[in-house]
Amino acid sequence: MEMIYTEQHANPAALKGGRIAIVGYGSQGRAHARNLRDSGFDVVVGARAGGGAERKAKADGFRVVSPAEAAKEADLVALLTPDMSHRSVYAHEIAPNLKAEAALLVAHGFSVHYGEIVPRKDIDVVLVAPKGPGDLVRREYEIGRGVPCLFAVQQDASAAARERALAYASGIGGTLAGAIETSFAEETETDLFGEQAVLCGGASELITAGYETLVEAGYKPEVAYFECLHELKLIVDLLYEGGLAKMHEFVSETAKYGDLVSGPRVVNGETRERMREVLRDIQTGKFAQEWIFENESGKQNYDAMLAADLDQPIEKVGARLRQHMAWLQSKPDAKAA
């Protein structure tokens, strides 16, 4: 059984006394910076002058300098900008300025694993990946808990890279909930597979296929929406809280029987073979090459596919129905339509 690392395994002194630079002040970057500061670490934010990240970080009380200046000052740079920006930010801002035996940290291994970043040999390269969005990482920290995380070492120039990664994980609250050691390859490939085959691609295709099957059979679109999308949250919450066992405990006997006899008819051997194909494309780098090329060529195919995805009938029906769900409205005083 894989070891779970907790607070007793972390040594904050591996990073305290030095400076941590956060480059990228989005959902994860903002949560990491605030948690690390509250854990007693010296944090500076690297951001472009005049941008939204600079304004937000200054409002949060951080000293903000350029990414290049942040890298010069840092003993560890956490590169938390979007994946496709890593090559440029690393090459132009970080690599020329990071001192020898300092550390480069990422929260997702894509850019390192697929060669978008080729790190200097004289620096540590580590990964700390919380298994939750930034707002959850911050909320859990504020109430004295944490979000589980993965950590990995790709390159250990200082002979202390692993200690640094665990210290950083502790600083953002990860070791309070448990940290699991992995590799850059395992984190990257499993993350991409989960997104594509299950969490985003698989789930959205299953939902729309179910909706279309019911509508084509003559059922009302509104009823199909409730059965194939709206109620999914109830099931996902049960799975999230207690796995298959809790889901089976709280659904009806009829639902359980239908699950057992019909689930394997929908997700079957052919489906699993398609999943293996998705995984092979990830493992060989084919998916990464296509995505990198798509970004470099202006994302025309991506934009067209996204527009088509958001133009499906289920989106229009859902938008109208959600207007009547007061708890989903963005403003506290919003009234149901």
* Tokens found for residue 275: 């999943």
Catalytic site residue 108? yes
Q: Is 257 annotated as a binding residue?
A: no
Closest C-alpha among 150, 147, 148, 145 to residue 137: 147
Decide if 336 contacts 326 (C-beta within 8 A): yes
* Residue with token string 């200690």: 163
Q: Is 216 annotated as a binding residue?
A: no
Measured CA to CA, the distance from residue 39 to residue 202 in angstroms comes to 38
**Residue 173 forms beta bridges with which residues?**
none
Q: Is 63 annotated as a binding residue?
A: no
Q: What is the DSSP string of 22-75?
A: EE--SHHHHHHHHHHHHTT-EEEEE--TTSHHHHHHHHTT--EE-HHHHHHH-S
Q: Is 48 annotated as a binding residue?
A: yes
Q: Is 240 annotated as a binding residue?
A: no
SS3 259: helix
Q: Is 25 annotated as a binding residue?
A: yes
Q: Is 237 annotated as a binding residue?
A: no
Helix axes 286-296, 269-284, angle to 10 degrees: 60
Q: Is 205 annotated as a binding residue?
A: no
Q: Please tell me which residue in 108, 113, 230, 324 is annotated as part of the active site.
A: 108
Q: Is 195 annotated as a binding residue?
A: yes
What residues are designated binding site for substrate? 252
Catalytic residues: 108
What residues are designated binding site for Mg(2+)? 191, 195, 227, 231
What residues are designated binding site? 25-28, 48, 134, 191, 195, 227, 231, 252
What residues are designated binding site for NADP(+)? 25-28, 48, 134
